[in-house]
Amino acid sequence: MLSILLVSLSLGLAFLTANQQTAAANSDTTIPTAFRGTWYQYAGQKQWNVTKITKHSFQNYMANSKKHRISSNLITATPSTSGDNKLSIAKHKTKSRTAYTFFPDKNNGYFWIQTAKINGKRQKVLVNFTVQPKMSVISTKGQYTKDYSYN
């Protein structure tokens, strides 16, 4: 498990330092199908950081074990939102992976889907790699009580 995460981190760093070829996504407001759904990252004390992605929106908020929102820090990005939270999708390709940014400010991170071993099973996870601080956040489709993120 740890070796998979370390490999992913090194690939993420290689991704950012390699010569990047940036190509426009099919649409700068349509999120690819693989990213859509509700993703959970355990935040401790029976709370989860929830990322809800639909065809044209990106939401992030904190929720309790009953999936109720407990945070007023709701981030919603849509094509009609203005400023830093405007949904603006860009596709970034390297030799090893294809990643996407969903916001005009790339400091919000690069997102990609990969397979990781979670609770003994291999499953797809959403990775959000941020440069400052260097960290990869792993989100899963299920509410697990372990944080699989790493830096």
How high is the mean pLDDT in each 10-residue block of the chain (151 residues)?
40 41 57 94 91 93 89 82 87 90 82 91 91 79 84 66
Q: Which two tokens stand for residue 85?
A: 């939270």
> Sign of the CA dihedral 77, 56, 130, 138?
positive
In this predicted structure, what is the pLDDT of residue 23?
A: 39
CA atoms of 34 and 110, how far apart (whole Å): 15
